[in-house]
Structure 1
Amino acid sequence: MHRMMKTYKRYVLNQTFVEGCIQEQYLVEEAMMYCMEYIHDGNLGSHKNGRRVIMNEDIESAHPMDKKGKQYVLPNIEYQQVRKWVLTHSSKNAEWEEKYQVYLQSQKSRGKNRKGSQAKELDYIPWLRLQLQNEKVSPFKRIVDGPSFTAVSYNRYTMNGYVFYSSDSESTTTTQNSEVSMKAVTSFRASTKDRNLVDDEVTYYGVVKRILELDYVEFKQTVFYCDWVRIEDKTNGCTVDPDTNLVFVNLGKFMRNTSEVDKPFILAYEAKQVFYCRDLSRDNWHVVLDAPKRLSQEIDAYEDPLVFEARTSANDSSSTTLFEDVLEVVEDWI
């Protein structure tokens, strides 16, 4: 403990950091507290005779950690949102979307050649159900038909080496397990004058509100309902510190979830856990850190470091060194 406090003071008082940047101090303090709370709550396993004992040997497999889930009836808007999201991520969906575009073009051509009233174009899902109505039952057809309105809600779920909590279930805990990020390819225009769309990988940051298991009769699908930060707002939603290259998000600025075209859902396997460290100089602002994965049977407990990976550039080693020293301190403490 003495060495831990010594190292902490060294970083707080170190004049090599950017002068006046108290964010670094808060970052060290909260990261160290998070390490200790994370270990105290058993998220990394217990310790016997100085060795780390794995609490769950099957941690890499995805499954709910609640003894029993609760019934949750999807409101119509959420039902349409999650139905579209799951369908969009089906491997067979892309070819059907291409066929749908051909259908739309044919409808427009018929409208130009015919006089009088024109048949109304079908939306994608009704059109797709019509195409598959005589097909044998398959997983894809089940996805197109949609899940049951009645889902199962869980408070905790393990996936991708992380243990995710719904935010409401964390009200009585000291750890954070509901913070999440997701990478997606988004099309955008480089400028208002540019007519061509450019694809780019974007990272979204949010908070898990609900963990739901959807029922497609023949199989289940786990999804996370999330509040997502307005990352497109580079001033009030999501910013990158020019000195440290750290990402800051405003948890008071979430995207809307009130329309069928909104996208609050993600598939469970798309989720990556992050940790939000408060910026005490601004209300609702937090710095984003990558949360460590829990240890599994396949990972050597002495070779897998507990690292809070700062989002730094290759040329900026100050923050990386900071977190390596935090790791060293915590390992000495445990």
Structure 2
Amino acid sequence: HLYVLENTEEVPPYIEQHMIHIKTAYPKFRKRTKWLQDKHNSTFIQWLRFKVQSELEEDNHGVSENLRWLAVGPNMAVPLYRSYLIKGIKFNIKAQDDVRTTQNSGVYLLAHTMQVASAKDKNPIFSNMGFYGVIQEIWDLDYQKFTIPAFRCDWIDSSGLVVDELGFTLVDLSKIGHRNDQFVLASQVKQIFLLTTRCIVVGR
């Protein structure tokens, strides 16, 4: 749910407000980038729910129906699918691909993300990174008025990626990383084909 919120167009202004709130409440940590991000991650969902509820009580509040139901949160009962069609492209979970001759479970994500040099790094940097993964589960998050499909993926650790002399990305599927950040919105990824160890990105 947090990932959905942080990747919704209407939410960034609230993220900025929440970060200001945290820095004001914890002034001695205001320059600790990683601490602030961790605190934001653990408290933003509840903070946004109360913030939007408060705004809805005001006249001419300007809160859209989309944001209203996002702040409420998804139904806890989440349907899972083995296949899902998005913008004319069929995605499968890996278990579905394992019993078929075609392959539709490979995905690629380009994301602006925080990079931490070590556990002691208090001021990490943000930059664009590419991630290669395999879909393990397809979730359809129900926000009562609309649904948002999301993929739970096994993402390949950066140590498992090598670009060969022909420009192909070689992927070691045994090197799984990013276990705390497995989810991605279905609308954010490109489908890729994994050919043994070679990974070829195809356009949508």
* TM bucket, shorter chain: 0.7 to 0.9
Contact (CA 8 Å) 2:157, 2:178: kept in 1 or not?
no
C-alpha distance after superposition, 1:135-192 (max 9, x if no partner): 337321321221011122222212244211111112321111111111112243799x
Instruction: Measure, in 2, the Cα distance between the counterparts of 1:219 and 1:277.
Output: 36
- CA shift in 2, pair 1:195/1:156, >3 Å: closer
CA distance in 1, matches of 2:150, 2:131: 16
1:128 aligns with 2:48: yes
Q: Which residue of 2 aligns with 1:214?
A: 141
1:132 aligns to what SS in structure 2?
Answer: helix
Larger relative contact order (CA 8 Å, sep ≥ 6): 1
Q: In structure 1, what is the equivalent of residue 150 of structure 2?
A: 223
SS in 2 for 1:218: coil
Match of 1:289 among 179, 189, 200: 200
SS in 2 for 1:177: coil
CA distance in 2, matches of 1:169, 1:147: 26
SS of structure 2 residue aligned to 1:206: strand
Give SS of 1:181's match.
strand
Question: 1:144, 1:172 → 2: CA distance?
Answer: 39
Tell me the distance in 1 between the aligned counterparts of 2:122 and 2:2.
27
Stretches of structure 2 that go unaligned for 5 or more consecutive residues are: 29-39, 57-62
Identity %: 28
Structure 1 residues 143 and 292, CA, compared in 2 at 3 Å: closer, same or farther? closer
Query: Would you say the 8 A contact 2:49–2:72 is kept in 1?
Result: yes
Question: What's the TM-score once normalised by structure 1's chain length?
Answer: 0.50
Q: What's the counterpart of residue 105 of structure 2?
A: 178
Q: Are residue 238 (structure 1) and residue 149 (structure 2) matched?
A: no
Q: Is 2:190–2:203's contact at 8 Å kept on the other side of the alignment?
A: no
TM-score relative to the length of structure 2: 0.78
Q: For 2:55 and 2:4, how far apart are their aligned partners in 1?
A: 20
SS at match of 2:79: strand
Q: Deviations over 1:47-103 (max 9, x none)?
A: xxxxxxxxxxxxxxxxxxxxxxxxxxxxxxxxxxxx111011111221111111211
Larger radius of gyration: 1
Tell me, in whole angstroms, the C-alpha distance in 2 between the residues paired with 1:188 and 1:214.
28
Question: Number of matched residues?
Answer: 183
2:55 corresponds to which letter in structure 1?
E
CA contact (8 A) 2:109 2:188 kept: yes
Structure-1 separation of matches of 2:203 and 2:14: 39
Give me the whole-angstrom Cα distance separating, in 2, the residues matched to 1:171 and 1:187.
33
| Structure with greater strand percent | 2
CA distance in 1 between partners of 2:129 and 2:26 (Å): 34
Contact 1:160 1:272 in 2 (8 A): no
* Counterparts of 2:157 and 2:183, CA distance in 1: 15
Q: Report the residue type matching 2:133 in the other structure.
A: G
Once the two structures are superposed, residues 247-301 of structure 1 have per-residue CA deviations (whole angstroms, 9 ceiling, x without a partner) of 11110111253xxxx21111111121111111xxxxxxx11112465xxxxxxxx
Which amino acid in 1 is paired with 2:46?
A: P
Q: Secondary structure at the match of 1:102?
A: helix
Name 1:268's counterpart in structure 2: 186
Q: Tell me, in whole angstroms, the C-alpha distance in 2 between the residues paired with 1:131 and 1:100.
A: 10
Gaps of 5+ in 1: 1-82, 111-120, 279-285, 294-334
The residue that corresponds to 2:34 in the other structure is none
